[in-house]
């Protein structure tokens, strides 16, 4: 992380963009602002920021489309900004790889606190998860956001990959659904613990017959899940 983190603010409301920039600059962040989704993608390509504050409703491309584009090549932290307060919208953003979600109107001081928390967390993750994971038949790389099973690259959405990576980093350790929500989604998740079950089911479908390699995603009845590595 650079001494002065660079933040890209994407919002078509100039008053909000200016307010956000002002508070972040007071905290010694470098701030760039754009008002269109397509401009955000171009600016990201020109100079990738350390964090992106991304509005959902934008001209050109909406925030979800921008997030999809960013996640094709980068796992920089992204905090979604929106006037919506529907659980579906929050879940969609998180499924696409957002790190946090702030609903308008918001307290600028809370926004700054969220930015600091996400940067701290992702900086720590970069140090802890910089090495690829290798198991028989399986390679998980959080750095390149890729999973290979039996020599073939899998199509795996960000949260599925992050959940698999988190479990595989602690073989044979059991995690509750609530712990997985907190660790993988990273904050108070606006859904329920069945989200974990759905993601586990999808991961298992992409790793058929993995038991033959001496590992699997194991359900611990009444508790949660573990990446079980058999001796």
Structural domain includes residue 155? yes
What pLDDT is stored for residue 204 in this prediction? 97
Q: Choose the final residue of a domain: 83, 104, 128.
A: 128
Number of domains composing the chain: 2
Q: Choose the final residue of a domain: 128, 149, 175.
A: 128
Kindly report the CATH number assigned to the domain that includes residue 66.
Answer: 3.40.50.2300
Domain residues for the domain of 44 are 6-128
Q: Read off the pLDDT of residues 113-152 as tens digits, 9 standing for 90 and up.
A: 989 988 887 776 555 555 689 999 999 998 778 899 999 9
Average pLDDT over residues 186-202: 76
Structural domain includes residue 145? yes
Task: Give the full edge-to-edge strand order of the sheet including 100-103.
Answer: 30-34, 6-10, 51-55, 78-82, 100-103
- Clarify whether residues 181 and 85 are in a common domain: no
Average pLDDT over residues 186-194: 62
48 DSSP 8-state letter: -
The residues, any chain, with a CB within 8 Å of residue 167's CB and separated by 6 or more, are 175, 180, 217, 225, 226, 227
Average pLDDT over residues 44-61: 93
User: At residue 91, does pLDDT exceed 80?
Assistant: no
- Give the span between the Cα atoms of 53 and 100, in whole angstroms: 10
What are phi and psi for residue 220, nearest 5 degrees? Answer: -100, 105
Count of residues making up the chain: 231
């Amino acid at each position: 992380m650079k001494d002065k983190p660079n933040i890209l603010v994407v919002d078509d409301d100039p008053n909000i963009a200016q307010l956000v920039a002002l508070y972040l600059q007071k905290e010694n962040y470098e701030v760039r602002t754009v008002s269109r989704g397509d401009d955000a993608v171009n600016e990201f390509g020109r100079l990738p920021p350390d964090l992106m504050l991304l509005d959902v409703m934008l001209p050109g491309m909406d925030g979800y489309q921008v997030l999809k584009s960013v996640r094709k090549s980068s796992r920089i932290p992204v905090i979604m900004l929106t006037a919506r307060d529907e659980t579906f919208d929050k879940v969609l953003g998180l499924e696409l790889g957002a790190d946090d979600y702030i609903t308008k109107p918001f307290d600028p001081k809370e926004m700054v606190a969220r930015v600091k928390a996400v940067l701290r967390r992702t900086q720590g993750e970069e140090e802890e998860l910089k090495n690829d994971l290798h198991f028989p038949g399986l390679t998980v790389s959080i750095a390149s956001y890729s999973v290979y099973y039996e020599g073939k690259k899998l199509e795996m959405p960000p949260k599925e990959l992050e959940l698999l990576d988190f479990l595989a980093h602690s073989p044979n350790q059991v995690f509750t659904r609530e712990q997985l929500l907190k660790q993988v989604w990273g904050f108070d998740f606006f859904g329920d613990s069945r989200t974990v079950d759905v993601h586990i089911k999808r991961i298992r479908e992409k790793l058929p017959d993995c038991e033959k390699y001496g590992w699997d995603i194991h359900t611990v009845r009444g508790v949660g899940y573990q990446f079980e590595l058999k001796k």
